[in-house]
Amino acid sequence: MAGKHLQWVEISRGSYSRNIAVFRGLLPAGCRLMAVVKANAYGHGLLAVAGLAAENGADALGVNAVGEGDEIRRAGIPLPIVVLGYTRLDDLGCAVELGLEPVVYNAESLVRLDGEARKRGRRARFHLKLETGVNRQGVAERDLDRFAGLIEEAEMADLAACSMHFANIEDTTDHSFARRQMDVFARLRSRLELALGRPVPAHAACSAAAIVMPETAFQMARVGIGSYGLWPSKETYLATALLKKKPPVLEPVMSWKTVVAQVKDVPPGAPVGYGCAYHATRAMKVAVLPVGYSDGYDRGLSGQGHVLVRGHRAPVVGRVCMNMFMVDVTDVPGVSLEDEVVLLGAQGGERITAEAVASLCQTIHYETVSRVAPHIRRVVVE
Ligand SMILES: *Cc1c(COP(=O)(O)O)cnc(C)c1O
C-alpha cells in the first residue's frame, strides 16, 4: 500500500540485541539460546524478530506451529526451528521438508514423523517433551519405556533433546514446585538415557528460569518474554532480589505509535463516544486516534488507559471503538493534527508500559503485546 500508515510498531534493534546479550551472560558457557518467536514474536513481528535473532547469534528459533516455521524458511533464515506447539500428523511431512524440529509427545506423531522422513530420504530431528507437572504436553513416566522403544525403532527420526516446561516459575517467589519438576525431569531423563544407552541433551528454561534458576539451563534455554525486554513478572524481579542477585537490565523492544486524526472542542456536559458513556467534565479538548480494539487496543482501556502526546500523558475518554478512540488533551498544550502519539513505549520522560496496560485489562503483559494486531506494520529502528 502506498502512503503513510495510521499506526505502526517500532522494534528497537539495539534493545533486542542488548536483551539477548543479557541472557547470553546469564547462561553458562556452551548453553544454546533459543529465541522464542511464537505468536508473531509476542506481537513484535515474526520476520522482523526472526531476522534480529539470527543477526544476534541465536542458536535456534521457537515457534508454535509449522506455518510460522514455513514463513521463516521462506524469508531465507536457516536457523534450527523448534515447533513448540502441536503439529498435525498430516503436517509432519511438511515439517520434515522445511527442516523443522517438532516437539513430540504422542506415539502417533513419532511413528508418522519417522515414516515421512523415510519417504523423503531425509533425516528429521525431534524433541521429546516429558511430563513433569504442567499436565499439558508431555510423556508420562509410565509411557517412557514404550517411547524409548519407538525412538530406537525409528530409522530416520532422531531424538535431538528431551524437554520440560515450568508450571509456575513466574507466578511466585517460592520455587519449590519448580524444583520438584526438576527432580521429576532428572528421573525421567535418566530413565530415558538408560533405556537408550546414551546421553540425551535437555532443555527446560524459559526467561524466568534462566534468570532465577541457572541450574535449569542444561544444553539450551528457550527465551521469550525477556528477549522483548519485559520481565516475566513482578515475582521474578522480587525473586532476584531475594536471591541477592543484581537484576539484569532489560529494555522494552516494542513501541506502538499512531497520530492524532482530529482535535475537537467539546462543551461541558456533552457526551463523548458510543453509549454516551462519558460526559465532558469541563470545556474540553479531545483528540481522536485512529486505533481501536480490532487493532489490539483493548476495549477494557475505555476510560482507563493513557497515551503519550507532546511528552504528556493523556487519559482515554469514552469507549474504545473498533478503529478509533478518544483521549483528553485539554491539559496538553498545542496538540495538533497528525501529532505523533505513543500507545506503548516512551515519549519525552514518560513511558506507557505493557505491564501497566495489562493490569488495567486484568491480564498479563504477554497477552497485551501478543495481541497487537498482525496487520499493523512493524519497522525495525536503530
Ligand atoms: C513460550 C514458551 C517459552 C518462552 O517463555 P517466556 O516466559 O516467554 O520466556 C519457553 N518454552 C516454551 C515451551 C514455551 O511455549
Instruction: Kindly give the residue spans of alpha helices, DSSP state H, lying in the chain.
Output: 13-26, 38-42, 46-55, 66-74, 92-98, 107-120, 144-153, 176-196, 207-212, 234-242, 354-360, 365-370
Give me the chain's average pLDDT, please: 97
Neighbours of 198 (CB within 10 A): 9
Can you tell me the distance from the alpha carbon of 66 to that of 165, in angstroms, rounded to the nearest whole number? Answer: 20
Q: How far is CA 67 from the centre of its chain?
A: 17
Residue at 245: amino acid letter: K
Choose one of 136, 222, 223, 225 to mutate for the ligand 1 pocket test, by most ligand atoms within 8 angstroms of C-beta.
Answer: 222
Q: What is the dihedral of CA 339, 342, 347, 353, to 10 degrees?
A: 170
Which residue among 38, 129, 257, 285 is the active-site one?
38
Rounded to the nearest whole angstrom, what is the distance from the C-alpha of residue 233 to the centroid of ligand 1?
Answer: 13
Rounded to the nearest whole angstrom, what is the distance from the C-alpha of residue 367 to the centroid of ligand 1?
Answer: 13
Task: Report pLDDT for 49.
Answer: 98
Rounded to the nearest whole angstrom, what is the distance from the C-alpha of residue 120 to the centroid of ligand 1?
Answer: 31
Task: Report pLDDT for 2.
Answer: 56
Choose one of 32, 64, 84, 227 to mutate for the ligand 1 pocket test, by most ligand atoms within 8 angstroms of C-beta.
Answer: 84
**Per-residue pLDDT tens digits for 259-312:** 999 999 999 999 999 999 999 999 999 999 999 999 999 999 999 999 999 999
Terminal CA-CA length for the chain: 24
36 lines ligand 1 (CB under 6 A): yes
Rounded to the nearest whole angstrom, what is the distance from the C-alpha of residue 275 to the centroid of ligand 1?
Answer: 40
222 lines ligand 1 (CB under 6 A): yes
Task: Report pLDDT for 4.
Answer: 81
301 lines ligand 1 (CB under 6 A): no
Can you tell me the distance from the alpha carbon of 169 to that of 110, in angstroms, rounded to the nearest whole number? Answer: 29
CB 75 within 8 A of CB 50: yes
**Per-residue pLDDT tens digits for 314-371:** 999 999 999 999 999 999 999 999 999 999 999 999 999 999 999 999 999 999 999 9
Which residue among 119, 245, 264, 274 is the active-site one?
274
Task: Report pLDDT for 1.
Answer: 54
Q: Is 38 annotated in the active site?
A: yes
Name which residue sits closest to atom 6 of ligand 1, judged by CA.
224
44 lines ligand 1 (CB under 6 A): no
Q: How large is the average pLDDT for residues 196-212?
A: 97
**Per-residue pLDDT tens digits for 32-62:** 999 999 999 999 999 999 999 999 999 999 9
CB 134 within 8 A of CB 200: no
Can you tell me the distance from the alpha carbon of 30 to that of 300, in angstroms, rounded to the nearest whole number? Answer: 44
Taking the CA of residue 206 as reference, the ligand 1 atom at the shortest distance is 9
Task: Report pLDDT for 211.
Answer: 96
224 lines ligand 1 (CB under 6 A): yes
Q: Is 246 annotated in the active site?
A: no
CB 6 within 8 A of CB 258: yes
CB 198 within 8 A of CB 189: no
Instruction: Tell me which DSSP letter residue 134 carries.
Output: S
Rounded to the nearest whole angstrom, what is the distance from the C-alpha of residue 34 to the centroid of ligand 1?
Answer: 10
**Per-residue pLDDT tens digits for 72-81:** 999 999 999 9
Name which residue sits closest to atom 3 of ligand 1, judged by CA.
206
Instruction: Tell me which DSSP letter residue 92 carries.
Output: H
* Residue tagged 469514552 (cell numbers): 318
Burial profile 327-336: b = 16 or more Cβ within 10 angstroms, e = fewer: bbbbebeebe
Name which residue sits closest to atom 14 of ligand 1, judged by CA.
84
Burial of 359 (C-beta count, 10 Å sphere; 0-12/13-18/19+): middle
Can you tell me the distance from the alpha carbon of 82 to that of 66, in angstroms, rounded to the nearest whole number? Answer: 9
